[in-house]
Chain A
Amino acid sequence: MAGPLRVLVVGGGRVGSYVAQLLDDRGHDIVVIEQDPDLVDELSDEYVATIIEGDATRPSILEQAGLDRVDVVTALTGNTGTNLAVCLAVSQLAPEVWTVMRTDHAIGDEYHRFVDSVVFPERAGARAAVNSVEHGVRSLEDVTGALEIMEIEVVDGAPVAGRSLTDVTLPRGSLVVSDADGERIAGSETVLEAGRSYVVAAQSDVSDEVLNLMRGGADRSD
């Protein structure tokens, strides 16, 4: 499923708004559902998503996000029960939508019967804390700020597929770090082969362009 996705983010709090921001940087279309009018105003100022104000567990609100065109729903409120309810409602209303839910405790895979993916943001937060405690060692997922380090699979038919780095002009603020095997640092002779993955560092303002170059061009019908 290459190309821009339409993502419904339920919950526009700290996790939700940050997720919306990152997804927007990568060029996706975002709809946020948020209940709190103050948060709605803050989100409007950020201008990364269309926002629907209301309770996402109510189908009349949920449907305003245009579920027939949504590819992924991520339920990211601070309430595990709400998130589960939203994912269940979505899987009833639009069975083909991929569902992601946030939990507030480490629960293994017991929710996997109902949702496609479970995230536990506190674990990432804990890792960040550990990284700061232990100077000098950081896990890469945690390098935030304006820079993202991603592993990207080049899609068949993408603009750069089959071309060497000499033939490609990546946007300024991006760098292919490793070659396809992940064993060598990429050089000008490195060829970006379709179907292989590369480690790429990109500033957030160009990550959608990098993704377009490496993942565009494939058949975008979902």
Chain B
Amino acid sequence: MSGEGTRQPAAELGLLDATMIGMGAMIGAGIFVLTGLAAEISGPAAVLVFTLNGVVTAFTGLSYAELAAAIPKSGGGYAFVREVFDDVGSFVMGWMLWFAYMIAGGLYALGFAPNFLELLHVYGFVPPPEAVSAIAVPVVPVDIPAAVALAMTAVGLLVLVNAVSTAASGSVETVFTIVKVSILVVFVAFGLLSAGGGGETSFTFQNFDPLFPDAGGAASILPAMGLTFIAFEGYDLITTVTEEVENPRENIPKAIFVSLVATVLVYLAVVTVAVGTLGAEGLAQAGEAGIARAATSFMPTDLPVIRNGGAVIVFGAVFSTITALNAVVIASSRVAFSMGREGQLLPSFGDIHHRYGTPFVAILASAVVMLASVSLPTASAGNMSSLFFLLSFIVVNVSVIRLRRRRPDMARPYEIPYYPIPPLLGIALNTILAGVLVEYLLRTDRLALALSAGWIAVGLVVYYALERYRGRSADADASATRDGAADAPNTDERDG
């Protein structure tokens, strides 16, 4: 695991690989973890929730495509915003995005744990998940719930792997994504085949009636959209590896759109089947393990070797959450690494470790917040991450507009059609969702809101502390030359 051989991706990433990176992140954990939560708020309309989120995020997708094609920098949203905004603006963007990825990591870890327990349960190793009691920690006199312990272990392991060796190349991600999508296709196929079977969990359209829940009605899909917005975080990961993509100015925009459309279709199919078989209530009750639970109910049980068809889906859930977790460990550390290189975090964040060849400090710092977020309830982690993605997507759309004004002559290999309507719509829709989400959090999850505000506050303190620290050291060696330059015309200075 020296990382020597894997330091550089083996091959250039083609359109397929780039698309799969985006899909891999979007079809990662969200579909398994968030479906139950969406069904809880908006009932069978969860189907609409995911579709509309896909539409909303597509506007920001256009902005990402234009920026990524014109600005050849790996680093995603932060790198683009850094081109456009002054120091505070880009710092806040990076700080928010970093947090969003870290919390998403916590969320995925929290989604991994119950699915993993479900997998063990399917094979009869443990009783049903709700019956697994807390693990008594020998030394510390507290009982940690099994799921939390598992989630923390998962985070710890992946951080360790990423800290001491560089990431797997894009082609591995392609294989992972194909596995995930295939498993979901199997799920959808069996779910639809169960229609008319008459069993308790056969697919039936009665489960969609009424479409909207009694409490809240059609309006309930708005908070559910805000809550699950994070599901479509992921295509922006394509823009964090742009430098490794071949023919990027054509392939990046394509990869963004193809992965978005494909993902929306997959979500639509999976959520339709999940609601159609388990019913919105059943799905909501199963929470993070909703899809897995639905699968266990209608998949055949007398298969050779794997015994239980549901195990395939549960395995898919475990596999997806763990690969998505891996992706955000990388993504979050890359943001911190970029910020360190730009001097917006301590310079050590921007260093590659002398032995492991990884941005070690950036990964460890991300791990701390990720581990802390595992102690949050799943809903709170999802809420915070969604909120920060919504906010950062607003900034990305604003960046496109500002960049068009400031650099009218910049070469834009991909231009947003019908500019400026899409970015303006992106700003408006993301703002509405963020507003609805904040309002919803005020009523139901003040903890998430307080922590989010706290993170921004801490960020500003960090920013101004760094500013002072830099100012002092810069003064020390630059004051002499700067004074000279201020008094005399610059040509004098260059005389010598």
Contacts and interface: CB of A to CB of B under 8 A. Distances in A.
Interface in A83-127: 91-92, 95-96, 112-116
Interface stretch (A43-51, A141-149, A194-202): A43-51
Nearest to B410: A52
Interface residues of B, number: 47
Contact of A112 (B71, B355, B473, B494): B494
B307 interface: no
Interface stretch (B147-155, B258-266, B441-449, B485-493): B485-493
Contact of A3 (B72, B341, B491): B341
A49 B71 CA distance: 7
A53 B354 contact: no
Interface stretch (A74-82, A130-138, A166-174, A178-186): A166-174
Contacts of B355: 167-169
A219 B470 contact: yes
A163 B354 contact: yes
A80 B90 CA distance: 37
A92 B249 CA distance: 35
Nearest to B408: A64
B353 A116 contact: no
Interface string B249-261: 1000000000000
Contact of A114 (B70, B348, B494): B494
B343 A61 contact: no
B335 to A, nearest CB: 16
A159 B409 contact: no
B210 interface: no
B435 interface: no
DSSP class of A's interface residues: helix, strand, loop or mixed? loop
Contacts of A43: 411
Contacts of B248: 47
Interface string B452-487: 000000000000000000110110000000000100
Nearest to A210: B352
A113 B351 contact: no
Given A92-B490, A172-B7, A64 B406 contact: yes
A50 B354 contact: no
23 contacts: A3-B343, A47-B243, A47-B248, A51-B70, A51-B411, A52-B407, A53-B410, A53-B411, A54-B409, A61-B409, A64-B408, A113-B491, A114-B491, A160-B354, A163-B354, A169-B4, A171-B4, A171-B357, A172-B5, A219-B470, A220-B341, A220-B350, A221-B471
